[in-house]
Amino acid sequence: MKIKCTHCGRKFDYDLYAGLCPHCGVYQRQGSSAYNSSEAQAHKASAYDSSEAQAQGTSSYNSSETQAQGTSSYNSSETQTQPQTQPMASHRETATKSTSGKRRNNWLATAILIVILGFIIAGPEVFHTYQTNKIAKTLTLSEPVTPTKVKPSKGFTVSTENGDFTVTFSSRSTDNDSTFETPEGYEILTVKYHVTVPQKALDTFPGQADENHLYTHWDSDRISPYCVTKDDSYLKPISNYDLSRVKHLEYSELEDNGITDNIDSQNGTLSFLIKKNDFKGLLINELDPDTEVLANSYLVIGIPKQKK
């Protein structure tokens, strides 16, 4: 404890110097006024230090509390801010996903539309090509078929479940019907044929004997006749439609008279539009009824002209 010397007035540490002033050498007793004054000052200082410490503690507490409140307020603000931030982020994420989903849906719809348009545009052509190739494949021969030359009077035979039908050719002639408008240098050539019906077919269909047209027991689609010209060109017969239009006959009348574009009557004729004096013979193709593949081919040469 520091005291003030009563002699020289200087301060010194009483405990350190055992009450003896180091400046003037005068001893200070504990009961002296200097000691009491110093002790009182020490008490004041101690009280001051205690008050200051309390004030500092209070200030520190208040400061800490203020900081705590500030921190709490900050945390509270942050806590309040976070719920706002999270929904906004969630909203942005949802919006992004929604936009992305819409884009994917738009691309998918566009792709589907393009595919549909492609089918609409290319579908008929693809189907036509498929059908053409299918027919071509069906009618393609595994082995070449060379036409068999036959005499008109002997003809050829077509086998059916009702027996063998024999087809012969008797004559050829020019149709001078004025209703035909033939180009210059052309003529309408008709070839007469006869189909011998087997007895089994007559027994199965008794009415066939009284009918010229051949019915279900004869599959006329199996037979395809062509006119062969001198330069080995092949001409189809004049169609039933054109024959009906030119001759002014109904189709039933054409059948009754055997005037058709195929061999489908007991006695009938085939008509061809051909250059004058260009006839060589007939080519007859027969298809297999089950596979529709060419089964037989006949070349009929030497059909005589009809006598006037």
Q: What is the 3-state secondary structure (H, E, C) of the chain?
A: CEEECCCCCCEEEHHHHCCECCCCCCECCCCCHHHHHHHHHHHHHHHHHHHHHHHHHHHHHHHHHHHHHHHHHHHHHHHHHHHHHHHHHHHHHHHHHHHHHHHHHHHHHHHHHHHHHHHHHHHHHHHHHHHHHHHHHHHCCCCCCCCEEECCCCCEEEEECCEEEEEEEEEEEECCCCCCCCCCCEEEEEEEEEEECCHHHHHHCHHHHHCCECCCCCCHHHEEEEEEECCCCEECCCCHHHHHHHHCCCHHHHHHHCECCCCCECEEEEEEEEECCCEEEEEEEEECCCCCCEEEEEEEECCCECCC
Q: What pLDDT does 142 receive?
A: 56
Q: Which two tokens stand for residue 183?
A: 């180009």
Q: What pLDDT does 158 receive?
A: 92
- Name the pLDDT band for 90 (thresholds 50, 70, 90): low
- Name the pLDDT band for 47 (thresholds 50, 70, 90): very low
- Name the pLDDT band for 168 (thresholds 50, 70, 90): very high
Select from 243, 206, 234 the least CA-distant residue to 147.
Answer: 234
The pLDDT of 27-34, averaged and rounded, is 65
Q: What pLDDT does 134 receive?
A: 64
Q: What pLDDT does 101 receive?
A: 63
Residues 122-138 pLDDT 10s: 777 777 777 666 655 55
Average pLDDT, whole number, for the chain?
77
The pLDDT of 147-154, averaged and rounded, is 96
Residues 180-227 pLDDT 10s: 788 999 999 999 999 999 999 888 888 888 889 887 667 778 899 999
145 pLDDT above the threshold of 60:
yes
Q: What pLDDT does 149 receive?
A: 96
Largest separation between any pair of C-alpha atoms in the chain: 190
Q: What CATH number is given for 148-301 in this structure?
A: 2.60.40
Delimiting residues of CATH 2.60.40 domain(s) in the chain = 148-301
- State percent of the chain over pLDDT 70: 70
Residues 96-119 pLDDT 10s: 556 666 677 788 888 898 888 877
Q: What pLDDT does 119 receive?
A: 75
Least confident of 19-33, 91-105, 168-182: 91-105
Residues 247-306 pLDDT 10s: 888 988 998 899 999 999 999 999 999 999 999 999 999 988 888 888 899 999 999 999
Q: What pLDDT does 99 receive?
A: 63
CB count in 10 Å sphere of residue 296 = 18
